[in-house]
Amino acid sequence: MNAAATFPFRVAELTIDPVRRRVAGPGGEVPMEPLVMQLLLQLVERQGQVLPRRELFDHLWGNAQVGDDSLNRLVGNLRKALERASAGAVQIETVPRLGYRLIAEPTGDGVTPPITRRSLLGAGASSLVALGGAGLWRARKQARVAEAQRLVDRGDILLRDAVPLQAGDALPPLRSALEIDPENAKALGLLALAEETRANNGGSANAGETLRAAEQAARAALQRDPGEPHARLAMIDIAAGNLDWSQMEDRLEALRASAPANPHVLGSMTSFLQAAGRTSKSWLYNEQAAAAAPTSPTPQWRRALRLWTAGRDEEAVNLSERLLPLWPRHALVWNARFMILAFTGRTGAASAMLRNAGVAPGNAHPVRLAQWLPTLDAFAEPSPASIASAREANLAAAKLNPGQATYAAMVLSQLGEIDAAFAVIDGLLLSKGPLVANRPIVPRSFVANSPSWCRTQWLFLPPLAAVRNDVRFKGLCEEIGLARYWRQRGVRPDTRLPG
């Protein structure tokens, strides 16, 4: 099965393939530069709404100082590509003093474009007729509702695509939406999920207070809409420390049944199943998430890791290589490529990533040179001395935080230092021994050392194969509740992919 088989998506007459950076339509296939494709994806996300220039600068260049000419060049290149591929059916409209939006002519095959030139003209005409008295009041109200919806959509995308540590980036647009529309259940639900995510991932200085705010927002959303999926997901995560694995799965499955195409829900199912060692089923949900959110980086870096988990190293490497230019500042896209390179014998390429001036974007668990330089040396030229140096570096790093501890467990297992790997795992998952990793201990937070709910996706990655084959692994799985879950569900852990 091709690594990106389900990723391309349609806009009017165009097929857009972000991973391969191609657009194809009646006029043929056109390749795109990474930044030009990023620009197109941002416009598609807005579904015909205006994308402000200031947001484009933030998305495309971050804090780098670039002028208007850079954006104008990208827009010009994208216009040429769309004109050629779509034969003029898909275009970029400049909205003076605001930004840009994507417009598309109607198609005859049932494909709904984001917005049509005809609908834009029709909306303009109807608004002119309505201006006056009650019509003007209605027009203003509709404009405020539309602005609230735009802000909610913006917060949704920011939360969906963010590194969990940066979930707080979704809060400003969601709060602005609620200032306009205080009864908006979706805005409240997304606010709850954003607060819960940052509380449980190191993105809040006061995680306990943030969790209480998340629960308050979730309850408010559910009062307005008892089925609001983001609020329900937040409540599940808030309660996770008191749930065993089977209970957690049952609640997530019930939520998925009521919101089968919600990317946040599908992402949670993907993570849960991989943490439970069920790679095959995790892959299926991740592919559904990719179909539901084809412009999101999240299911794509997860897809690369699943390919690697299944032993399809070349596909994983190739996919990660295509993803990085599309989302060069996304920490988990960067991290997935780095890990795949480092653990599949491509130490030179991994070392080059480390030494690059734009090394790993911000993440809750950053890649640290003090840990990884001796590690890559030992991977490249294993000797008693290099392995000993890597062992000491990783044992020291394991005491810093859960992220460094998971890296250390993988490295030590890969180097054959199984006793040391178990020492790290015992400290991380069971709070036993001298290597207990630092983390916020927050009531009700599943980041706290809860044996009933651990983030164990990494346990089933290829570097931990030696640990999984060790007799001690069975006892570990009993202690964290995984073995009981497998018995209850009648399943075994796997690293295969379907099909």
Domain with residue 109: its CATH number is 1.10.10.10
Residue 113 placed within a domain:
yes
Query: Is residue 263 a part of any domain in this protein?
Result: no
Evaluate whether residue 262 is within a structural domain.
Answer: no
For tokens 């809860």, the residue is 450
Domain limit, last residue, from 191, 216, 238: 238
Return the SS3 of 287.
helix
In a domain, 205, yes or no: yes
Pair 483, 345 in one domain = yes
> Pick from 130, 149, 181: which residue ends a domain?
130
Q: Give me the amino acid identity at 308.
A: W
In 3D space, the residue among 197, 208, 239 whose CA is nearest the CA of residue 443 turns out to be 208
Residue whose pair of structure tokens reads 């065993």 in the numeric block: 244
The pairing of strands 99-104 and 51-52 is antiparallel
Q: Are residues 193 and 118 in the same domain?
A: no
pLDDT, residue 363, reads: 54
Question: Do residue 112 and residue 146 come from a single domain?
Answer: no
Specify whether 446 is located in the same domain as 355: yes
Pair (55, 82) in one structural domain? yes
Same domain flag for 450 and 358: yes
Q: Are residues 195 and 57 in the same domain?
A: no
Q: Is residue 281 part of a domain?
A: no
Residue 202: give the domain boundaries.
141-238
Sequence-separated contacts (24+) of 420-428 with Cβ below 8 Å: 420/391, 420/394, 420/395, 421/464, 421/466, 421/467, 422/467, 422/470, 422/472, 422/476, 423/395, 424/394, 424/395, 424/398, 425/459, 425/467, 425/476, 426/476, 427/398, 427/399, 428/398, 428/402
Nearest CA to 266 out of 160, 380, 391 is that of: 160
pLDDT tens, residue order, the chain (499 aa): 333 334 678 887 788 888 778 899 888 899 988 889 888 988 888 777 888 888 888 777 766 666 788 888 889 999 999 999 988 888 898 888 788 988 876 555 544 444 433 333 333 334 334 445 555 455 566 677 778 888 999 999 999 998 887 889 999 999 999 999 999 999 999 999 999 998 887 777 787 888 899 999 999 999 999 999 999 999 999 888 788 899 999 999 999 999 999 999 999 999 999 999 999 999 999 999 998 988 899 999 999 999 999 999 999 999 999 998 888 888 899 999 999 999 999 999 999 998 874 555 555 456 788 999 999 999 999 999 999 999 999 999 998 878 888 999 999 999 999 999 999 999 888 888 887 766 554 444 444 334 444 679 999 999 999 999 999 999 999 999 999 999 999 999 998 888 6
Domain end call among 78, 96, 130: 130
Predicted TM-score of the model (pTM): 0.82
Residue 64 lies in a domain: yes
Same domain, 125 and 166: no
Question: 182 with 209, same domain?
Answer: yes
